[in-house]
Every structure is written in structure tokens, then in C-alpha cells.
Amino acid sequence: MGNKTIHNHLRFALLLGAFSALGPLTIDMYLPSFPEIAGAFGTKASLVQLSLTACLLGLAFGQIIMGVLSDVHGRRKPLIIALVLYLTASFICAIAPNIAFFIVARFIQGFAAAAGIVISRAIVRDVFSGHELTKFFSLLMLVNNAVPLLAPVAGGGIISFTTWVGVFVVLGAIGILLAVLATWRLEETLPIENRTPNNLPQLLRNFGSLLNDRQFMGYALAQGLMIGGVFAYVSGTPFIYQNIYGVSPQTFAILFGTNGISLIIGSQIVGRYVHIVTERRFLIIGLLLAGISSGGALLWVLFKGPLPGLVFLLFLFVASIGITATSSFSLAMETQNHIAGSASALLGVIPFILGAVVSPLVGIAGEHTAVPMGVIIFTTSSLALLAYFGLVRRTKRNHQRFVAVGRR
């Protein structure tokens, strides 16, 4: 691959990465502002947390709607409209008169941000296939995975010299910038002849075909279950590291950031060596690594091992997410070029649904035990393995037997 091609791929990845980064930016940038928002509205912390739940629901629901719209109307037009909606919702958050208004605006903001996630992934499938799809998606993951590490820091920096309102003003400004970039720099990647007819029964049949596709659902469930485990990790480690092991908030930030780097490492290993090791083998390696590391973490917390061992095991677990997410996305999307938006939406929604289910379970036994987190990440890793071997491998073997019988 020439230097010019590499440069163009990097520039394209940065552009799509900026669109897909809206999701983590919208989730993470305002987290340091929670206490200030509660004080400004004179409300409980639980209601401020409800604004995060509303945003996550918007992200989940929005991916389905925006994915379908992008299959019908192309990628560019729905993305531009969603970005205009996003910047509007961001500024509405900034001037919200009460917490109820703020929560509704956060749902709309999440709904609009979902377009950046789902459409950027659909564009990748429009443009690339095979190993090139995997390599480019790993490059996109590099951009995406860096954002959750930087967003809370940026949010904390903003409120250090202004109020929480400034966070949403900045998000609105980002929305304006991305709307300009989408209008002037993004070309349409889905030709008119490849678009899905604007027909509701047909759109429903598209989702039905995806749900009935055992291989696609095997990859989707494997990825979704693994990322669901990450939600448990994210929800549990702040209490585990600080309340159980007694580390300071600054040390927690360093440990959390280190594991974030492992996510980047995992995805980049796949992109760099996919020409040597196939995506399918990488997925199996990632799933096995997740099972071993999460099982080790569960045993570690059961026997109350020291902190460095737990950090190391969680480092391996998060790295396995980078491996499985990159390889499973490529494998799932490979045969879905005609409905890439709907397929991308389904791949995006499943992790949010599973994450919403498992996250509250982390604190089911209180804030001074790590066992629930260990049980959850081991369970999700095990179920991800079962989803792959039960749906993907079994379907592949049955197909091979059918072909063999036909040849006889």
C-alpha cells in the first residue's frame, strides 16, 4: 500500500471517526459535571443519572431509525440532518430550565448522535470489503477508543473555568463543525440503485432476515455480550478500585486509562496482522482470552487477591474486547452490503441493550464486593463463546455437510 493510499485512509478514518465519536463524547464529556448539574437544578443525583440513561436509550433507538433511513435515502443526507438536530439539542441542554426538560433534551441528543455511529460504520462497509474492511475498521476503532479516555478529562477542563453549561455549548459547537464537514467533505457512498425501497414491510423484512441469519446473529451476539461485559467493568471498577482497594481518584483514572489503552492495542493487533491470521481465528482467540482472563478475575476477587493481579487480568479482558469487536464487526458486515445500515444498527443496539441489563447488577451486593462484576464478565464471556460456537460454527459445519452430500 502506497504512502498516498495510507494517508487517504487515515484522513478518511479521522473524518468517520469524528462522526462516530459523537456517541462517546455525548456520554462521557458531561460526567464530571454531575454534582454541579444537580445543584443547578436543585435535584437529586439519581435524576441527573437518569439523564445519562435517557441519552443511552436515545443512542440505542436512534441507531435503528438512522440505520434504516441511511439504507433508504443514502448515507450523507440523514447524517447531515441528524447533525443539525444534534447541535440544536446540545444548545437546548445548555438552556434547559429544569431537570425534566434537560432529560428530554438528552434523549434527543443521544438519538441524533446515534447517526454518527451507525452511518459511519455503514460507510465503511460501502467502501471496503474483506481484509481491507477489517484493517480500516481497526483504524476507525483507534479513533473511537481514544475518545472515552479524553472526553471526561476535556469535560473536567471545561468546568474548571466555566459552568456545566459550557460543556453543552462545546458539544453544540462540535455539532456545527461536523455538520459543515459532512456537507463539504463527505461524499455519498451508497448509489441510488443499491438503496432499499422506502417500504415499511420491506424494511421490517430486512431486520427479520438479519435476525434469522444464524451466522450474523452469532457474530452480533458474541460482540454484544462482550461489550455488555465492558459496561459491567465500567460500572464496577470505580467502586472496586476506590472503595475496596482504597486507591485515590487520580490513581483510579490512571488505572482506568491504562485499560483503555489495552482496548486500542487489541483492535490494532487485528488490523495489523489480519493478512496473517484470519478474522475468524482472531475472533476465537479474543473469545478464549476473554474467557480465561474473566475467569481468572472472578477467582481473584473471590479469594481477595492483591490489586496488581486484578488490574493485569482486567487489562487482558479489555484487550480481548478490542480483538473481538474488530473481527466480529468485519465478519458480520461482510455479506450485508445491501442493508449495511440496518446491519450496523443491529450491531450497535445489541450492546446497549445488554449493557443496560447488566450494569445495574454490578452493585446488587453493595459497593464493597467485587464478586458481582467478576461473575458478570465471566458469564458474558462464556455466553459469547456459546453464541459463536452454537450459531456460527454449527451453521458452517452444517453447510459443509450439505455441500459434501450434494457432491455425492
- pLDDT for 87 equals 96
Q: Which residue has the cell 474467557?
A: 291
CA distances from 280 to 219, 253, 389 (A): 10, 34, 12
- pLDDT for 355 equals 75
Q: List the Cα angle 329/297/360 in 5-degree steps.
A: 70
- pLDDT for 200 equals 72
All structural domains of the chain, each given as residue ranges with its CATH number in brackets, are 1-195 (1.20.1250.20), 197-403 (1.20.1250.20)
- pLDDT for 239 equals 73
Q: Which residue has the cell 481491507?
A: 132
Q: Which residues contact 32 (CB under 8 A, 6 or more apart)?
A: 152, 155, 156, 159
- pLDDT for 240 equals 82
Instruction: Give the closest residue to 257 by CA, choosing from 18, 10, 28.
Output: 28
Helix (H), strand (E), coil (C) string for 41-67: HCCCHHHHHHHHHHHHHHHHHHHHHHH
Cβ-based burial of 403 (10 A; exposed 0-12, middle 13-18, buried ≥19): exposed
- pLDDT for 405 equals 37
Q: In 10 A of CB 208, how many CB atoms?
A: 11
- pLDDT for 149 equals 66
- pLDDT for 402 equals 35
Between the CA atoms of 259, 141, 130 and 347, what dihedral angle is there, to the nearest 10 degrees? Answer: 90
Q: Phi-psi region for residue 304, left (φ > 0), alpha (ψ -120 to 50) or beta? A: left
Does pTM top 0.85 for this prediction? no
Query: What's the first-to-final CA gap in the chain, in angstroms?
Result: 44
pLDDT in tens, the chain (408 residues): 444 444 567 788 888 988 988 988 898 788 778 778 888 999 887 788 788 878 888 988 898 899 889 988 999 999 999 999 999 999 999 999 999 999 999 999 999 999 999 999 889 888 888 878 888 877 777 777 677 667 767 887 888 888 999 999 999 999 999 999 999 989 999 888 888 887 778 777 888 888 899 999 999 999 999 988 887 887 677 778 878 898 886 677 778 777 778 888 998 898 888 889 998 999 999 999 999 999 999 999 999 899 999 999 999 999 999 899 889 988 988 877 668 788 888 888 888 778 767 766 776 766 678 888 899 999 999 999 999 999 987 665 554 443 343 445
- pLDDT for 49 equals 73
Helix (H), strand (E), coil (C) string for 188-218: CCCCHHHCCCCCHHHHHHHHHHHHHCHHHHH
Q: In 10 A of CB 169, how many CB atoms?
A: 17
- pLDDT for 394 equals 65
